[in-house]
């Protein structure tokens, strides 16, 4: 049981290039999330998904796209990289909450450090 895995660990992009950050989980979690962490800051939610084929925007979705074709994978796409997207990206997953508002714990991957020059 590897938990949440992310690839690559580190990447340098040139302005205008595109790339996909990969995220996979083997815990059979329905919910998956993408966050970014800027230096000295907390994490901010980019996108999340409550199941295959269902995604929704978080707090900072501009410049990113996501898809969820399987329960296990939740890739994050940067189409036109900009210096403002230099950050550490974290993927997380959780089991669904229950009716009545129970919230489950999110478990995080190791992160992908992205530098856009």
Partner 1 sequence: AQKVTQAQTEISVVEKEDVTLDCVYETRDTTYYLFWYKQPPSGELVFLIRRNSFDEQNEISGRYSWNFQKSTSSFNFTITASQVVDSAVYFCALSEARGTASKLTFGTGTRLQVTL
Q: Which of 9, 23, 12, 21 is nearest to 77 (CA)?
A: 21
Q: How far is the CB of 80 from partner 1 (least distance, A)?
A: 26
Q: Which is nearer to partner 1, 58 or 75 (CB)?
A: 58
Q: Which is nearer to partner 1, 14 or 103 (CB)?
A: 103
Q: How far is the CB of 101 from partner 1 (least distance, A)?
A: 3
Which residues contribute to the site for partner 1 (CB under 8 A)? 31, 33, 35, 40-45, 48, 50, 56, 58, 88, 90, 92, 94, 96-99, 101-111, 113
Q: Which is nearer to partner 1, 28 or 103 (CB)?
A: 103
C-alpha neighbours within 13 Å on the C-beta side of residue 69: 3
- Residue ranges of the alpha helices (H) in the chain? none
Q: Where are the beta strands (DSSP E) in the chain?
A: 4-7, 10-13, 19-25, 31-37, 43-51, 54-57, 64-66, 76-78, 87-94, 107-108, 112-116
Q: How far is the CB of 62 from partner 1 (least distance, A)?
A: 17
Q: How far is the CB of 35 from partner 1 (least distance, A)?
A: 8
Distance CA 20, CA 79 (A): 8
Q: Which is nearer to partner 1, 14 or 42 (CB)?
A: 42
């Amino acid at each position: 049981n590897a938990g949440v895995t992310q690839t690559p660990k580190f990447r340098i992009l040139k302005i205008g290039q595109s790339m996909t950050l990969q995220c996979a989980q083997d815990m059979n979690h329905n919910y998956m999330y993408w966050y970014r962490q800027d230096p000295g800051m907390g994490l901010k939610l980019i996108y999340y998904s409550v199941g295959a084929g269902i995604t929704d925007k978080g707090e900072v979705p501009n410049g990113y796209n996501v898809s969820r074709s399987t329960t296990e994978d939740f890739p994050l796409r940067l189409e036109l990289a900009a210096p403002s997207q230099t950050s550490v990206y974290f993927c997380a997953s959780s089991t669904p909450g229950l009716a009545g508002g129970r919230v489950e714990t999110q478990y995080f991957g190791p992160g992908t450090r992205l530098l856009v020059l």
